[in-house]
Amino acid sequence: MHKVLQKQLKKLGFKNGKFPDGNLEKFIEIVDNAYNEADEEREFLEYTLKTSSKEMVELYTKLEQKSKTALAKSEKRYKELATKDILTGLLNRFAFQEELNRLISNSKRTNTKFALLFLDLDHFKEVNDTHGHDIGDKLLQEVAKRVLPNIRVEDIFARIGGDEFILLFTNIKKNELGQLVSKAISLFRKPWVINNINLHVTVSIGVVVYPDDADNEEELLKKADIAMYKSKELGRNQVIYFEKSLLS
């Protein structure tokens, strides 16, 4: 409480948190009399109350701003934990699914196409078995660092689990997809150096196009997965575009 106000209240008999004779009504009467009997006392009371109120408002404002800042930081952190893959910083499966559904809705509305690439690292288990999970984790982090700067700003790269990633090439134009996919797989054909260890890890990719191959989340992922496994069967380190014959 403002020191001047404390002094004034003490003068009126308020001491150690208690009213005169422990009587609140008596104290109010004393304050009322002081206010009415002397202009000087009234002005002093008004000034101290006004000053204290102003200080309290300022203090409240500061506390409110601090609280909002702390809350905003917490909300940002919680959102990151909910939407980002902790290891790589990429979108996680949950966030990716939201982005995919948003992209489907937008593509329907604008009558545009997009491509979904299902990526699975080749022989990743051997990296973990031979060099340990720490090296495997660092490899996954390097994948994110290498791919993200080499895709378009509007495209989406996510890790959906283990050594599986998804690339979404949004709003693709005619004859543009082949070039984008070729660039993507070429990024994995360069050696990876992790803790001075040279790793030759490539990637198998399955590609589907919306709406040509499927027009909903479940079918897009299912068909991209089928195409990716076909790439594995055919020797890995290649791209397979989904076609109906893969279902037979």
Show the domain range for 8: 3-67
What's the pLDDT score for residue 32?
Answer: 62
> Distance between CA 61 and CA 194 in Å, rounded?
51
pTM for this entry: 0.70
> Distance between CA 65 and CA 1 in Å, rounded?
21
Active site annotation includes 129? no
> Distance between CA 97 and CA 110 in Å, rounded?
20
What's the pLDDT score for residue 66?
Answer: 72
Ordered per-residue pLDDT tens for the chain, 248 residues: 445 555 556 665 666 656 566 555 665 666 666 555 555 555 665 666 566 666 655 665 776 777 677 666 666 655 656 789 999 999 999 999 999 999 999 999 999 999 999 999 999 999 999 999 999 999 999 999 999 999 999 999 999 999 999 999 999 987 899 999 999 999 999 999 999 999 999 999 999 999 999 999 999 999 999 999 999 999 999 999 999 999 98
Nearest to 116 by CA among 105, 100, 101: 100
Nearest to 236 by CA among 113, 126, 108, 133: 126
> Distance between CA 21 and CA 24 in Å, rounded?
9
Strand partners, 208: 116
Catalytic residue among 85, 120, 163, 213: 163
Contact present, 159 and 207 (Cβ < 8 Å): no
In a domain? residue 75: no
Same domain, 107 and 50: no
Same domain, 9 and 54: yes
What's the pLDDT score for residue 146?
Answer: 97
Question: For residue 171, what is the domain's CATH number?
Answer: 3.30.70.270
Same domain, 29 and 117: no
What's the pLDDT score for residue 2?
Answer: 45
Same domain, 129 and 63: no
What's the pLDDT score for residue 36?
Answer: 58
Same domain, 140 and 52: no
What's the pLDDT score for residue 162?
Answer: 94
> Distance between CA 133 and CA 1 in Å, rounded?
59
Number of domains forming the structure of the chain: 2
In a domain? residue 83: no
> Distance between CA 208 and CA 104 in Å, rounded?
13
Same domain, 164 and 201: yes
Same domain, 205 and 111: yes
The per-residue b/e assignment along 73-105, b for 16 or more CB within 10 angstroms, e otherwise, is eeeeeeeeeebbbeebebbbeebbbebbeebbe
Same domain, 20 and 129: no
What's the pLDDT score for residue 174?
Answer: 77
> Distance between CA 241 and CA 209 in Å, rounded?
9
Same domain, 105 and 140: yes
